[in-house]
């Protein structure tokens, strides 16, 4: 998979893709991640990429030309162009799985007051990562890239992602490690029994119990 991230602030990504599982996925050539500063595509004499909104109002708005030209230079038949915007469809694990099947993602990070409405016309999809407003699309791009890359074949153990929260509309079951007793709190006996059938039953029940209590909306699905 290739992920191209269009941003005015590529330095914000420093570190994020240079550690842990995402770094390993890059090193193993499971994914190529490119940070592209769309300011390099502006035709404005003063290198501008934004301007004041028509009709007045606060803030600066990203102009269409640099983003149109940048996307044009990257797009191919298998590209999925995604605009990051608070009014987009809410991102979730199902969308992460679906994006993990794509060959090429182009993520457009807005900034300032937002972007010229005409930029939507070149996008295949619009995504929000939650009902709150961030200063830019960079953190949403990091969240989406991270959640998608870990689902690519060979990046993490498939058993591990299969049991993750939101798969089968359930939250994950509780997990424990050593020591057996910590500050008076004991590991449930069944996990020490060595009986794999019983352990699987216990985990399934705990998963359902936890989902009922914390996210009953998932069970309705």
Ligand X SMILES: C[S@@+](CC[C@H](N)C(=O)[O-])C[C@H]1O[C@@H](n2cnc3c(N)ncnc32)[C@H](O)[C@@H]1O
- Residue 58 interacting with ligand X (CB under 6 A): no
| Two structure tokens written together for 122 | 């070149």
Residues numbered 136 to 165 that lie near ligand X (CB under 6 A) are: 136-137, 140
Q: Does residue 109 sit in helix, strand or coil?
A: strand
Residue whose CB is less far from ligand X, 9 or 208: 9
Judged by CB under 6 A, does residue 84 bind ligand X? yes
Query: Given the complex with ligand X, which of 128 and 207 has the nearer CB atom?
Result: 128
Annotated catalytic residue: which of 69, 86, 102, 172?
Answer: 86
Least Cβ distance, residue 86 to ligand X (angstroms): 4
188 near ligand X, judged by CB under 6 A: no
CB-based contacts of 68, cutoff 8 Å, min separation 6: 119, 122
- Nearest-CB residue for ligand X: 110
Is 133 a residue that touches ligand X (CB under 6 A)? yes
Told to check if 129 binds ligand X by CB under 6 A, we report yes
Strands (DSSP E) found in the chain: 2-6, 32-36, 50-51, 61-62, 79-90, 104-109, 114-115, 125-128, 181-182, 185-186
- Percent helix, strand and coil across the chain, each to the nearest 5: 40, 20, 40
Distance CA 58, CA 64 (A): 18
- Which of 132, 160, 216, 221 lies at the binding interface for ligand X (CB under 6 A)? 132
> Quick check: 172 binds ligand X (CB under 6 A)?
no
150 tagged catalytic: yes
Q: Is 20 exposed, middle or buried (0-12, 13-18, 19+ CB in 10 A)?
A: exposed
Taking CB under 6 A as the binding criterion, the range among 66-74, 107-115, 117-125, 153-161 that sits at the site for ligand X is 107-115
What are the residue numbers of the active site? 86, 113, 150, 164
Residue ranges binding ligand X (CB under 6 A): 84-87, 109-111, 113-115, 128-130, 132-137, 140
């Amino acid at each position: 998979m290739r992920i191209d991230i269009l941003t005015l602030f590529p330095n914000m990504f420093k570190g994020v893709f240079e550690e842990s599982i995402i770094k390993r996925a890059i090193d193993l050539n499971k994914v190529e991640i490119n940070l592209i500063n769309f300011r390099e595509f502006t035709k404005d004499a003063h290198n501008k990429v934004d301007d004041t909104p028509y009709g007045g109002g606060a803030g600066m708005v990203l102009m269409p030309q640099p983003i149109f030209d940048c996307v044009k230079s990257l797009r191919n038949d298998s590209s999925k162009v995604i605009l990051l915007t608070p009014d987009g469809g809410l991102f979730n694990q199902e969308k992460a799985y679906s994006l993990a099947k794509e060959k090429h993602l182009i993520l457009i990070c807005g900034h300032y007051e937002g972007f010229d409405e005409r930029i939507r016309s070149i996008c295949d999809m619009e995504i929000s990562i939650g009902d709150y407003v961030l200063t830019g699309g960079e953190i949403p791009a990091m969240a989406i890239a991270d959640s998608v890359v870990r689902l690519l074949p060979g990046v993490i153990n498939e058993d591990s992602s299969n049991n993750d929260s939101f798969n089968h509309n359930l939250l994950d079951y509780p997990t424990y490690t050593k020591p057996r007793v910590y500050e008076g709190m004991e590991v449930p006996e069944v996990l020490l029994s060595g009986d794999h059938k019983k352990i699987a039953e216990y985990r399934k029940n705990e998963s359902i119990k936890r989902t009922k209590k914390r996210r009953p909306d998932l069970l309705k699905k």
